[in-house]
Amino acid sequence: MTTDTSPKSPEAAAVPPPPPAPAGGRTPRGPRRLLTRRDRITLAFMAGVPTILHVALVWLTALASIALAFTNWDGIGFDSIKWVGLDNFRQLFTDNPQFWPAVQHNVVWFVVLILIPTPFGLFLAVQLDKRIRFSRVYQTAFFLPVVMSLAVTGFVWQLVYNPDTGLINSVIGANTPGHYIDWIGDPDLNLWAVLVAASWRHAGYMMILYLAGLKGVDPSLREASALDGANEWQTFKNVVFPTLRPTNTVVLVVTIIEALRAFDLVFVFNKGAQGTELLSILITNNIIGESSRIGYGSAIAVVLLVISLAVIIPYLIATFRKERRA
Amino acid sequence: MPHLTPSGRLSLPSPSRRTLLRGIGGAAVLGAGVPLLSACGSSGTAADPKTVTLGSNASDAVPKKAFAEIYAAFTKQSGIAVDVNTKDHNTFQEQINSYLQGTPDDVFNWFAGYRMQFFAAKKLASPIDDVWQKIGGDFPDAMKQLSKGEDGKYYFVPLYTYPWALFYRKSVFRQHGYQVPTTWDQLVALCKQMKKDGLVPIAFGDKDAWPAMGTFDQINFRLNGYDFHKSLMAGKEAWTDPKVKAVFDHWAELLPYHQDGFMGRTWQNAAQTLVSKKAGMYLLGSFVAQQFANKADADDLDFFAFPEIDSAFGQDTVEAPTDGFMVSRSPKNHDGVVKLLEFLGTPAAEQIYLKADSSVVAASSKADTSSYTALQKKAYTMISEAKSLTQFMDRDSRPDFTSTVMQPGLQKFLQNPKGVDGLLASIERQKKTIFASA
């Protein structure tokens, strides 16, 4: 931040200097005192209200759930909160048969998103960037799933996967006894089935990000590589892709976030039953309900928070370091 | 110090990314928080001696209309209006905790059994012994037991109940010459025969994770008796007990005759297999009748009690979940509430409900059964002749245990019936920590 306090706009410059201090013997504070009383109230209000809301709704709740992770609480009355130390975590890591599958599925979610729809989104972006005919139509078609709520996406794919009446089983005849494919229920299949739906959406998202990145690639670079006799693939690999570095960082972060917050699609699909457990769903199942296990659910939430921080903090450090250098 | 003009106007070139993010974050949290908070409150009307507020989970069309007719009859008789606040059935259950701690309606829909006792013990419901002094004579003893909290006081007015049993279509049994099985061996033999005849012996769908609990209940109380079942549900028996293992062994024997692909199927879709005569039997509550839209099909529907496994227990236990009403901890209009509950406990109120929803039967022993369908009559007889009534696994046990441990646990068993020992050990470990936290 600079310490320059000189007016920036012409009309501001036209404003007369602050009136002389009232005759009360108080010494004027000089040019530093630039705000009237009203301004200060307005400012305090504008900065204060969001700060209070932010602290109350983000920080306090986050800290409260960290504290609750070490307690046992059914959510009824504050006097029923019991301190249990690390018990919740011990139970989670040793006794909960769904916890490790959930962690594993969150990882699978990330790996699949980064390996399949992300390169596919890049591929689409590169094709659309060539300004082929109807490119806007394609662009819209691929982007459409991103606009739709994931809950709706879940409903749509559920209709496709329904084992009795769904599109796939009806077409390939896999809904008769003995030749059954249970896309939603089979623990070896359902995660992949949901991931197809997630990828369907993610590809469109990645496409738009890459398309924006590609618009920023200097055309003279391409020209130069063409003059050097590079073919299309060589140009992409050696010239275009390296210039997409900032976009790649964004894509990586977005994909990690998508993998960690994966919830709605699966919740609609089969509520995280065998084969599709996710951390976010375990949290919900433990906290929401009639006699909820709020302490236990908070412990899972803390695990998710720690994983998220482990990913986000290095990213933020790297970004800020870059900004400072710039 | 940010750039400020002397007039105090901010002349920041653009808000920094962090302030922007913070603002967005706050707005998002606020946006998510507001409906949540408003959902907790009730209609918020001040105490009005001529109105009773009622929180309803009857969001489906049939029960909603049936309840509305009961309240209309009450208003007509007493001059007290019932202000109904209907919420989606599942949402109601998920929010019940914060709802009862906030400003709940005077009266609310709820379930008998452990789930009622839980809120009674937490002092989130009012005892209604005064109401029971009036309506007590109309109910059989089993219903009285179901309406009491652990402290022996009444907290619940039951309205209707329905049995779980094996449902089948008379025409299918007639066509193939099947006999209703009364023993386990007969049931297995019947399944074998049905499979040979190209039928799905037992329709099944467990996508919602609770239907499987019904099968466990039936096998357990037939094999080990009511007392063991109750005590297991109360967390007093070990899940590693050989008696429990035997339940799963019996279940595994039946599993090959269950409909394929059940993990991805809802009970409604499974019921359609029975409607279309592709399935021979279906173990479910009598609400399965709601899926029989066509009257001719509905008349063809029949059921029999789950067959005997151990002759010491025979078929003496019937699983009959019961729904009714409770009073919140400090109702605004106490006199009105008492009058409403007394009315809801009358056979007349039950009959209004049953006229609109014929898949259930009255909880009262005084209700007129002459207008019952054949199915209702049979259900009524079955329940009234039962030696013991159970509710359902998630109504007889701690709901946090059944939803976070048993539902995924039973699904795991269904996927891999051979891994029972490890599964039961895991259930037992989790049960101990959950029940210890009471």
**B353 contacts B159 by C-beta, under 8 angstroms:** yes
Q: What integer is the mean pLDDT of B316-326? A: 94
Contacts of A1 in chain B (CB under 8 A): 1-2
Higher pLDDT, B114 or A26: B114
**Per-residue pLDDT tens digits for B218-273:** 999 999 999 999 999 999 999 999 999 999 999 999 999 999 889 889 999 999 99
A178: pLDDT strictly greater than 90: no
Mutate to test the interface with B, among A8, A84, A158, A164 (most CBs of B within 10 A): A164
Q: State percent of chain A over pLDDT 70.
A: 89
DSSP string, B158-177: EEEE--EEEEEEHHHHHHHT
Could you tell me if residue B326 is left (phi over 0), alpha (psi between -120 and 50 degrees) or otherwise beta?
A: beta
Q: Tell me how far the alpha carbon of residue A299 is from its chain's centroid.
A: 21
**A189 contacts A207 by C-beta, under 8 angstroms:** no
Q: Hey, is the C-beta of A79 within 8 angstroms of any chain B C-beta? A: no
Token match 């210890």: residue?
A: B436
Residues forming a β-bridge with B204: none
How many helices (H) and strands (E) chain A has is answered by 17, 2
The whole-chain average pLDDT of chain A stands at 84
pLDDT class for B128, splitting at 50, 70, 90?
Answer: very high
Structure tokens at B244: 């429990």
A199: pLDDT strictly greater than 80: yes
H or E element, residue B322: strand B322-327
Closest by CA to B147, choosing from B286, B328, B345, is B345
Give Cβ neighbours of residue B78 (< 8 Å, ≥ 6 apart). B339, B340, B343
CB contact under 8 A, B8 and A58: no
By the 10 Å C-beta count (0-12 exposed, 13-18 middle, 19+ buried), A306 is classed as: exposed
B197: pLDDT strictly greater than 90: yes
**A106 contacts A259 by C-beta, under 8 angstroms:** yes
**B352 contacts B73 by C-beta, under 8 angstroms:** yes
CA dist., res. A165 & res. A158, Å (int): 10
Give Cβ neighbours of residue A78 (< 8 Å, ≥ 6 apart). none
The whole-chain average pLDDT of chain B stands at 86
Q: What integer is the mean pLDDT of A164-181? A: 84
What's residue A30's pLDDT? Answer: 53
User: Considering only A42-56, A162-176, B122-136, B289-303, which range has the smallest mean pLDDT?
Assistant: A162-176
CA dist., res. B33 & res. B49, Å (int): 33
Could you tell me if residue A30 is left (phi over 0), alpha (psi between -120 and 50 degrees) or otherwise beta?
A: left
CB contact under 8 A, A161 and B264: yes
Amino acid at site A77? G
Nearest to A186 among B23, B25, B263 (CB): B263
CA dist., res. B346 & res. B338, Å (int): 13
CA dist., res. A232 & res. A222, Å (int): 9
CA dist., res. B279 & res. B281, Å (int): 6
CA trace torsion A102, A108, A110, A115 (10° rounding)? -170
B427: pLDDT strictly greater than 80: yes
What's residue B10's pLDDT? Answer: 36
**B401 contacts B239 by C-beta, under 8 angstroms:** no
Contacts of B429 in chain A (CB under 8 A): 95
Closest by CA to B163, choosing from B346, B317, B291, B312, is B317
Q: Hey, is the C-beta of A308 within 8 angstroms of any chain B C-beta? A: no
Mutate to test the interface with B, among A169, A192, A291 (most CBs of B within 10 A): A291
Q: Hey, is the C-beta of A75 within 8 angstroms of any chain B C-beta? A: yes
**Per-residue pLDDT tens digits for A33-46:** 678 889 889 999 99
CA angle B97, B98, B101 (to 5 degrees): 95
Q: Hey, is the C-beta of A290 within 8 angstroms of any chain B C-beta? A: yes
Q: Which residues of B216-233 are buried (b: 16+ CB within 10 A; e: fewer)?
A: bbbbbbbbbbbebbbebb
What's residue B36's pLDDT? Answer: 39
Token match 């399935």: residue?
A: B279
User: Considering only A174-183, A212-221, B193-202, which range has the smallest mean pLDDT?
Assistant: A174-183
Could you tell me if residue B294 is left (phi over 0), alpha (psi between -120 and 50 degrees) or otherwise beta?
A: beta
Structure letter (DSSP) for residue B308? B
CB contact under 8 A, B433 and A289: no
Mutate to test the interface with A, among B9, B115, B263 (most CBs of A within 10 A): B263
Structure tokens at B191: 């399944």
**Per-residue pLDDT tens digits for B13-65:** 343 433 333 434 334 433 333 333 334 444 444 567 889 999 999 888 888 88
Q: What integer is the mean pLDDT of A114-123? A: 94
CA dist., res. B102 & res. B260, Å (int): 45
A217: pLDDT strictly greater than 90: no
Structure tokens at B250: 């019996």
pLDDT class for A27, splitting at 50, 70, 90?
Answer: low
Q: State percent of chain B over pLDDT 70.
A: 89
* Strand, coil or helix: B202: strand
What's residue A32's pLDDT? Answer: 61
| Highest mean pLDDT: which range of A284-293, B7-16, B128-137 | B128-137
CB-defined contacts A:B, below 8 A = 166
Q: State percent of chain B over pLDDT 90.
A: 62
Q: Tell me how far the alpha carbon of residue A75 is from its chain's centroid.
A: 29
**B325 contacts B341 by C-beta, under 8 angstroms:** yes
pLDDT class for B5, splitting at 50, 70, 90?
Answer: very low
Q: What integer is the mean pLDDT of B133-156? A: 90
Q: Hey, is the C-beta of A158 within 8 angstroms of any chain B C-beta? A: no
CA angle B202, B204, B205 (to 5 degrees): 175
* Strand, coil or helix: A307: helix
Q: What integer is the mean pLDDT of B390-403? A: 91
Give Cβ neighbours of residue A166 (< 8 Å, ≥ 6 apart). A158, A159, A160, A175, A183
* Strand, coil or helix: B56: strand
**Per-residue pLDDT tens digits for A60-71:** 999 999 999 999
CB contact under 8 A, B94 and A289: yes
| Highest mean pLDDT: which range of A70-79, A285-294, B238-247 | B238-247
Closest by CA to B214, choosing from B309, B118, B318, is B318
User: Considering only B24-38, B300-314, B363-377, B414-428, which range has the smallest mean pLDDT?
Assistant: B24-38
**B165 contacts B306 by C-beta, under 8 angstroms:** yes
This prediction has a pTM of 0.81
What's residue A31's pLDDT? Answer: 55
CB contact under 8 A, B5 and A15: yes
Between the alpha carbon of residue A300 and those of residues A25, A88, A282, A306, B171, the distances in Å are 62, 9, 7, 10, 52
Contacts of B400 in chain A (CB under 8 A): 74, 286, 289-293
Contacts of A40 in chain B (CB under 8 A): 8
CA dist., res. B313 & res. B305, Å (int): 13
Backbone phi, then psi, for B120, in 5-degree steps?
-65, -45
